[in-house]
A and B are shown apart, each in its own frame.
Chain A
């Protein structure tokens, strides 16, 4: 298999398999999670200002008082790399073209130099967060294989995409194929790991917010 065949495979059967497993996993887990249901809270609801599902959805995006100072890397780094990922994934013209081809949706792209900068900043933030995770004893203690693994499968698409554009290490064709393959691995892994928070994030915040609002606690 030469590099063009490799590229054609990841653009063809490889993508088909990855998107298939991704859809299967996402729908399976969403159905399973949301059909679980919870026992009705029979106590009389209490009321408190700022306590509701919607409040919690937004409030959880901000650090609770004092925590930003205690773990700035987690918050600032987390913000930077999530926003950076969104810029790179949804702002780069070839990515938009893929989404357009798969879903029919499209929007204007950003200049590639800006995407380039965003990719570098994203990677830097991710590396800083990894180092922080290794250095902080508590974080390290709490980390399981899944944490290291999901970091790697998130980092690799950014790295390989950036390297492909910059023509580093491997010829562009091979690097582009490796980049697409790394995204396919991410797609396959996403529904079955903590990366599924991309789908459950707001739902679980809403749930926690509501349950606590019933008790009169704004969380």
Chain B
């Protein structure tokens, strides 16, 4: 698959018109001006396979699955095919020394220009021994690959924030990419897994403008992570009316009422699921009847349980019963002290007699 992207797309049956429409959609999703759609289409169509190195660290391959198998064939998938993915363990045919050689060649040939995609967290425990590739720790590999990268994309919640490996008690000492690399532009695309169109959106932006899109305070593209699931949710009117599903199979659930009481984390989760949806716009978790887990937020795994509503206690109250007992004890003790004081005052009271007054 050599040559400009548009040729390959045409070969695969994607018309120029479809491609333009796709680029216009991407541009509007990213809140870019209308002209950006055309600019994107031109830049991407002519694009000559920018070198991309994808390093998988402490991960489950779910992010790769999300991109490559969202549904077939997607323009996302094809654009993804168009980039020169010089190293991606899951997708590449090469293995062992061959694969290592491909990695080193790509890094050498495109030094300072390649895009580095990381998925998975980086374990720091036991000198990084929890996750190694070709006998080298993830930390070492990341530092080496980051040196020559033009920019880094932290793909998925693990690379962005540490994700599930970092969940309490974090046995491997997992950290995110941005915890280690401080001197390169990093864009976080969290999600477990992230939405494919967000990935292509960032890639398209990078190819068109040569820069990363505008990011929020957590390094996420604002265009996709600017609003919460709750604020964009089609079930929101039910929340406002106070109509909630109480179980996953009650009348409320069948009527599509709000899943807040079933533990939906939509109100505190920034992601584009509610608008971009999944599997080519088919559906998304809340539409399928399950509350949002909050997977695109840091430490979502330890946020008090997936099935506990946000207004419920995150943990059972531990000291409340003991505190109540202590309170009663203190109250009773003070009561006795007060009664003793009263008794003493009564005892000390001297009765005034008639003789006293006549003195």
Contacts and interface: CB of A to CB of B under 8 A. Distances in A.
B224 interface: no
Contacts of B326: 24
A47 B225 CA distance: 73
Given A4-B300, A176-B267, A176-B268, A12 B315 contact: yes
A28 B304 CA distance: 31
Among B218, B228, B323, B330, find the residue whose CB has the most chain A CB atoms closer than 10 A. Answer: B323
B309 A94 contact: yes
A2 B299 contact: yes
Interface stretch (A13-21, A132-140, A151-159): A13-21
Interface string A3-30: 1110110011101110111011111111
B328 interface: yes
Given A4-B303, A27-B327, A108 B309 contact: no
A31 B317 contact: no
Contact of B294 (A4, A17, A24, A113): A4
A113 to B, nearest CB: 6
A173 B230 CA distance: 12
Among A25, A31, A98, find the residue whose CB has the most chain B CB atoms closer than 10 A. Answer: A31
A16 to B, nearest CB: 5
Contact of A24 (B267, B311, B323): B323
B293 to A, nearest CB: 12
Interface in A158-190: 167, 172-173, 176
Contact of A7 (B244, B268, B323): B268
Interface string B302-318: 11100001111111011
A19 B320 CA distance: 6
A112 B242 contact: yes
Interface stretch (B45-53, B56-64, B332-340): B332-340
B327 A4 contact: no
B322 A20 contact: yes
Interface string B233-259: 000000111101000000000000000
Given A2-B298, A20-B317, A111 B240 contact: yes
Chain A contact-residue range equals 35 or more
Interface string A30-42: 1110011100000
A87 interface: no
B interface, by DSSP: helix, strand, loop or mixed?
helix
A16 B310 contact: no
A101 to B, nearest CB: 5
Nearest to A12: B314
Chain B contact-residue range equals 35 or more
A12 B323 CA distance: 16
A199 to B, nearest CB: 13
A80 interface: no
Nearest to A16: B317
Contact of A27 (B244, B304, B324): B324
A26 B261 CA distance: 30
A93 interface: yes
B302 A8 contact: yes
B342 to A, nearest CB: 8
B331 A101 contact: no
Among A12, A26, A108, find the residue whose CB has the most chain B CB atoms closer than 10 A. Answer: A12
A109 B260 CA distance: 13
A93 B319 CA distance: 26
B297 interface: yes
A110 interface: yes
A22 B299 CA distance: 30
Contacts of A36: 335, 338
A7 B303 contact: yes
B319 to A, nearest CB: 4
A219 B314 CA distance: 48
Contact of B327 (A13, A23, A101): A23
A102 interface: yes
Interface string A97-122: 11001100000111111000000000
Going nearest first, the 5 A-B pairs with the smallest beta carbon separation are A31-B331, A27-B327, A20-B323, A94-B311, A35-B335
Interface of A: 2-5, 7-8, 11-13, 15-17, 19-21, 23-32, 35-37, 93-95, 97-98, 101-102, 108-113, 167, 172-173, 176
Given A16-B317, A23-B323, 6 more contacts: A3-B268, A16-B313, A29-B331, A31-B334, A32-B335, A97-B309
Interface of B: 218, 228, 231, 239-242, 244, 260-261, 267-268, 294, 297-300, 302-304, 309-315, 317-320, 322-324, 326-328, 330-332, 334-335, 338-339
